[in-house]
């Protein structure tokens, strides 16, 4: 069992995380709101994060689930993409995101919208000013 959780993009309001599993046994990668999505220049207190998109490519026979606070939100198989254009999934949005990959392996990309709880620099104006 080998699972990795890699940060592909991390800004004040956005994060893209890859969970990769290369073994043949169940593996869980956790996206911790208080640490994984925290930039070095931010502080956090009770972070809230919505799901903005999910992209996945799983090996033949593998499945994956996305769970928050013990509630399975999505069950994934084969390959695909869910992009919530114009909205986000806010179910259990104060809870960490667990990605379980069952079977031969694969990759799940989780795109997150950081809603609140990440300090004074969280939102920026249209001009890019963090003030």
pLDDT at position 131:
43
pLDDT bin (cut points 50, 70, 90) of residue 122 is: low
Query: What is the CATH topology of the domain spanning 3-107?
Result: Jelly Rolls (2.60.120)
Burial of 101 (C-beta count, 10 Å sphere; 0-12/13-18/19+)? buried
> Closest Cα partner for 6 from 25, 26, 21?
21
For 39, other C-beta atoms within 10 Å of its C-beta total 17
pLDDT at position 104:
80
- Whether pTM > 0.85 for this model: the answer is yes
- Domain locations in the chain? 3-107
């Amino acid at each position: 069992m080998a699972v990795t959780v890699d940060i592909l993009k991390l800004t004040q309001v956005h994060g893209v995380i890859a969970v990769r599993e290369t073994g043949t046994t169940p593996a869980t990668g956790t996206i911790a709101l208080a640490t994984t999505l925290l930039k070095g220049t931010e502080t956090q207190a009770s972070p809230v994060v919505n799901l903005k998109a999910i992209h996945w490519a799983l090996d033949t026979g593998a499945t994956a689930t996305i769970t928050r606070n013990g509630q399975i939100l999505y069950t994934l198989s084969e390959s695909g993409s869910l992009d919530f254009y114009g909205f986000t999934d806010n179910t259990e949005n104060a809870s960490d995101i667990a990605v379980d990959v069952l079977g031969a392996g694969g990759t799940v990309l989780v795109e997150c919208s950081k809603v609140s709880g990440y300090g004074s620099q969280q939102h920026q104006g249209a001009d890019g000013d963090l003030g």
